[in-house]
Amino acid sequence: MRFFAGTDYADDALTRTDALEQAYAGGVPMGSAQEAIHDVACSDGGVPDAATRRCPANGASVNLTDCSVSAHGAASLSAAWRDPDFDPAQRAVYYVRVLENSSCRWRTWDAIRLGEQPPAGVVPTLQERAWSSPIWLHPA
């Protein structure tokens, strides 16, 4: 399977003898993006590891007997960041992803309230996430 995205494909793009060449020349093929994840702001004063670019674990935990959470984490994070691999001649896309500390799933809360064990095979916690809209950069 091959998948391309672009804005200037001709109406006859799929029937042309050079369809594949035109697809590569006029669009972006799936899997062509070189993705890199950089942790930029860490809670509890943590600093991303230089080799892995990831924040250290902050020790947050969930007590599965009452769904209470440890006091680790931050109510707000902010940071200024420069992409160390930025190339103004290449297209790029950036977005922000926020990961919250784990918390109990509603199934776990319900089981605790009912005095039952959480259902077997169901992970008792989850980690909420949020994503920003992407910012697309195109070379001039």
> In this structure, is the dihedral angle defined by the CA atoms of residues 34, 130, 133 and 83, taken in order, positive or negative?
negative
Per-residue buried b or exposed e for 80-118, using 16+ beta carbons within 10 Å of the residue's own CB: eeeeeeeeeeeebeeeeeeeebbebbeebeebbeeeeeb
Q: Kindly tell me if the per-residue pLDDT of 12 is higher than 80.
A: yes
112 falls in which pLDDT band (50, 70, 90)? very high
Band the pLDDT of 111: cuts 50, 70, 90. very high
Q: What is the pLDDT of residue 29?
A: 72
Q: Which residues pair with 77 in a beta bridge?
A: none
Gap between the Cα atoms of 54 and 69, Å rounded: 23
Most trustworthy range by pLDDT among 12-16, 23-27, 43-47? 43-47
Q: Bridge-partner residues for 119, per DSSP?
A: none
Judged against a pLDDT cut of 90, whether residue 126 lies above it is answered with yes
* Length reported for the chain: 140
- The letter for the amino acid at 131 is W
